[in-house]
Amino acid sequence: MTFHILTIFPEFFSGPFEHGVIRKAQAEGRLEIRVHDLRHWTYDRHRTVDDRPFGGGEGMLLKPEPLFEAVEAILPKRTPKQKVILLSAQGRRFTQALAREFSMMNDLLLICGRYEGVDERVAEHLADAEVSIGDFVLSGGELAAAAIVDSVARLLPGVLGNEHSTRNESFCEENEGLLDCPQYTRPAEYRGWAVPDVLLGGNHEEIKRWRRAASLAKTERLRPDLMESRELRKN
Ligand code: SAH
């Protein structure tokens, strides 16, 4: 799979993908991350990518022409396996389910907004979807793009070794969309806090039951909204 990131700050990405499994997966050719400088598609002396909003108001917007030209140059004939996503605080919320959907693509192009945002015609006529990583406002789409690439990349075949599975984690179907269960490692007692007894014994059935109950309890406590969507799915 190839990830494309369209940004006015290409240097931003010299760090986030150079660690751990994502770095290894790139070296092994399991995925490719191409960072494209939006200014490449500007033709004036100042390489202008932004302009003032019609109707007044603060700040600047990314103008449409460089974005349209860039996307059309990077993915000239868009197929159903190629998706163009505009990062936006106003977008559909990014979830593990959407990460899984994206992991089925051949190409994922992420457009990073900046300043006060992006000319609306990009959302309406260029991007396949507007996606937000949460109900808060970032100063640019770059951090959001890095989060999406990371979460999608680890779902690709072979990216996580056998020691890891993406099938028993928080939010996944196999886990009924619940949070993962609490986990512990040594020491069995730390500062007087003991690891639950059941985990120290070797009874796998009991451990399984305990984990499921702990998963449910933690989800109920921290994410009651996930419990509700689980009930809805069951009906
Ligand atoms: N004026 C806009 C915010 C612009 S923030 C508004 O009020 O909705 C500048 C850029 O940061 C956006 O264009 C978008 O690309 C990115 N961004 C900000 N918050 C984001 C979020 N929660 N998820 C994804 N991208 C976000």
Distance 123 CA to ligand 1 centre (A): 12
Q: Is the Cβ–Cβ distance between 157 and 167 less than 8 Å?
A: no
Which residue, by CA, sits nearest to atom 11 of ligand 1?
A: 140
Task: Compute φ and ψ for 94, nearest 5 degrees.
Answer: -70, 130
Q: What is the pLDDT of residues 95-140, one digit of tens each?
A: 999 999 999 999 999 999 999 999 999 999 999 999 999 999 999 9
Residue among 87, 110, 130 whose CB has most ligand 1 atoms within 8 A, to mutate: 87
CA of 97 to the centre of ligand 1 (A): 21
Measured from CB, residues less than 6 Å from any atom of ligand 1 are: 87-90, 112-114, 116-118, 132-134, 136-138, 140-141, 144
How buried is 66 (Cβ within 10 angstroms: 0-12 exposed, 13-18 middle, 19+ buried)? buried
Instruction: Classify residue 95 by its DSSP letter.
Output: -
Confidence of residue 8 (pLDDT cuts 50, 70, 90): very high
Enter the DSSP assignment of 118: B
Residue 6: Cβ-neighbour burial (10 angstroms; 0-12, 13-18, 19+): buried
Domains of the chain by start residue, with CATH: 2-153 (3.40.1280.10), 173-234 (1.10.1270.20)
Return the structure tokens found at 169: 């984690």
Render pLDDT for 157-171 as a digit per residue (tens, 0 to 9): 999 986 567 878 999
